[in-house]
Homo-oligomer: A and B are copies of this chain.
């Protein structure tokens, strides 16, 4: 493992952690963070040593409290700092003396409000002592495997009725890493992903990026076995060269999806005042993303939709897609969005057309189903029709990806069509995405059953088309660079596990 990778690993997998500013006061960040660690330790998830540091307490949540970092017994790898900004330099000096490896400075009140001198001082101490710093002014780290959890936002809130409900959830364990410059956006992302049952490996919020930044984090995640897809929310990148180098490396093995905020004049102005990011010309970012194979998305929803696609499906080896539908209108909407995204809704090969004709003659497809692309099995659709049509289309060598719109409303369609289609799909190495529209129990069941079987399912035809477009863009990048074969080998090896 390279030195930098080893260093950053301490943030996610520390053998020992001290929380400076841990407290008994329930509403304080120092309490919530320490409690997260305590609970994960008791559940057997967090396996490191744990120390509260506070001058004024004897013990917190049953853990003996230490007045200073120097008083903590034994070695100390990671320190989480949750004390007022002006005390942080002093804590850093203690950390240096204690030879800690890394600190996360949750506290705000530094560069982001003009206290640049204070931030410079902190960085200087860290540099001198070889301590890596995350923050300041950040939400820190959440790791679904190791139980490191620095999220200090209230897990529940109280409604006007007096009812207590979940407000900030933790998503289930999974393979998506969230790397975010905005803490608030990051937490919102966790809330979104938890609700959609999409699993997360790591969450890291940078805040002011006084030391560790996106470039180094991407490089670290290249080696992280838990992470298969990286979501990057970014307002501005300081060190362009390092970023391009790291991004070029990581995208060989893992898709990186970027939501770049501050692309318009008003957005850039807001970004400057938010994290002091010099947004720079949007064209430069576009060029950097394209060059390094980073997939830039248009908005928040596309960001998560693409991530889900990459967790479940391989990239497409080309731009040609087929659409199978039981609903004419939605099929057209999907075709429109595919072509708008640069995909090709290709006319089928003669061989494929003949296969469809044969099925019609045998009465296995409706006489008036179109065997053009989109394939419209019509409102008379049955599970068998979807199964047969999917198999034919998967076999067409000129087709690189399949969109399946199985609107559940048609009378004869039974739910077993989902399992049948998934079985067909499992015989091939092409990506497939699904769509069902609606919010009824039946629609929710359809989408969730698809996802259980590894096929990402979307609630609009256009969302499905955009997800397929992401799979194709990345596939074409990998192909151009000569990495596609290796990526697919890894993908299917992991899948078979």
- The answer to whether A331 has its CB under 8 Å from any CB of chain B is yes
Report yes or no: A270 in contact with B188, Cβ–Cβ below 8 A: no
Given contacts A167-B442, A195-B443, A301-B301, 13 further A-B contacts (CB under 8 A): A153-B411, A160-B415, A168-B440, A169-B440, A184-B379, A184-B409, A187-B409, A188-B330, A191-B439, A266-B336, A266-B345, A271-B332, A299-B337
Interface stretch, picked from A3-11, A17-25, A212-220, A321-329, is A321-329
- The answer to whether A208 has its CB under 8 Å from any CB of chain B is no
Report yes or no: A333 in contact with B438, Cβ–Cβ below 8 A: no
Report yes or no: B442 in contact with A269, Cβ–Cβ below 8 A: no
**A445 nearest CB across to chain B (Å):** 6
Q: Count of chain A residues with Cβ under 8 Å from any Cβ of B? A: 94
| Chain A positions near chain B (C-beta within 8 angstroms) | 27, 112-113, 152-154, 157-160, 165-169, 180-185, 187-189, 191-192, 194-196, 233, 235, 259, 261-267, 269-271, 273-275, 298-301, 326-333, 335-340, 344-345, 367-368, 370, 372-374, 376, 379, 407-411, 414-416, 437-443, 445, 459-463
**A181 nearest CB across to chain B (Å):** 7
- Are A165 and B411 also in contact (CB < 8 A) when A182-B329, A273-B370, A329-B184 are? no
- Are A437 and B330 also in contact (CB < 8 A) when A165-B442, A261-B336, A263-B336 are? no
Report yes or no: B160 in contact with A416, Cβ–Cβ below 8 A: yes
**A417 nearest CB across to chain B (Å):** 11
30 contacts between A and B (CB under 8 A): A112-B368, A113-B367, A153-B411, A158-B415, A165-B440, A166-B441, A167-B441, A182-B328, A183-B329, A183-B379, A185-B327, A187-B407, A188-B327, A191-B443, A194-B439, A194-B440, A195-B440, A261-B329, A262-B336, A266-B336, A266-B339, A266-B344, A267-B335, A269-B335, A270-B345, A270-B374, A274-B332, A274-B376, A275-B328, A298-B462
**A386 nearest CB across to chain B (Å):** 15
Q: Which residues of B contact A261 (CB under 8 A)?
A: 329, 332-333, 336
**A318 nearest CB across to chain B (Å):** 16
Q: Which residues of B contact A262 (CB under 8 A)?
A: 332, 336
The chain B residue sitting closest to A439, CB to CB, is B195
Q: Which residues of B contact A153 (CB under 8 A)?
A: 409-411
Q: Which residues of B contact A439 (CB under 8 A)?
A: 191-192, 194-196
Contact among B112, B188, B194 with A407 in the assembled complex (CB-CB below 8 Å): B188
The chain B residue sitting closest to A325, CB to CB, is B184
A273 to B367, CA, bound (A): 14
- Are A372 and B270 also in contact (CB < 8 A) when A264-B336, A415-B159 are? yes
A165 to B442, CA, bound (A): 6
Report yes or no: A184 in contact with B462, Cβ–Cβ below 8 A: no
Contact among B183, B266, B442, B459 with A373 in the assembled complex (CB-CB below 8 Å): B266
**A358 nearest CB across to chain B (Å):** 19
Report yes or no: A441 in contact with B336, Cβ–Cβ below 8 A: no
A337 to B266, CA, bound (A): 10
**A82 nearest CB across to chain B (Å):** 13
- Are A300 and B461 also in contact (CB < 8 A) when A265-B339, A407-B184 are? yes
Q: Which residues of B contact A443 (CB under 8 A)?
A: 191, 195
Q: Which residues of B contact A300 (CB under 8 A)?
A: 330, 333, 437, 460-462
A300 to B337, CA, bound (A): 11
Q: Which residues of B contact A367 (CB under 8 A)?
A: 113
The chain B residue sitting closest to A262, CB to CB, is B332
Q: Which residues of B contact A274 (CB under 8 A)?
A: 328-329, 331-332, 370, 376
Q: Which residues of B contact A328 (CB under 8 A)?
A: 182, 184, 270, 274-275
A450 to B154, CA, bound (A): 22
A265 to B373, CA, bound (A): 12
A70 to B408, CA, bound (A): 39
Q: Which residues of B contact A461 (CB under 8 A)?
A: 300
The chain B residue sitting closest to A266, CB to CB, is B345
Report yes or no: B192 in contact with A462, Cβ–Cβ below 8 A: no
Q: Which residues of B contact A27 (CB under 8 A)?
A: 411
- Are A368 and B157 also in contact (CB < 8 A) when A332-B270, A409-B168, A440-B191 are? no
Contact among B301, B327, B340, B441 with A184 in the assembled complex (CB-CB below 8 Å): B327
Contact among B273, B299, B345, B441 with A372 in the assembled complex (CB-CB below 8 Å): B273
Report yes or no: B408 in contact with A184, Cβ–Cβ below 8 A: no
A187 to B436, CA, bound (A): 12
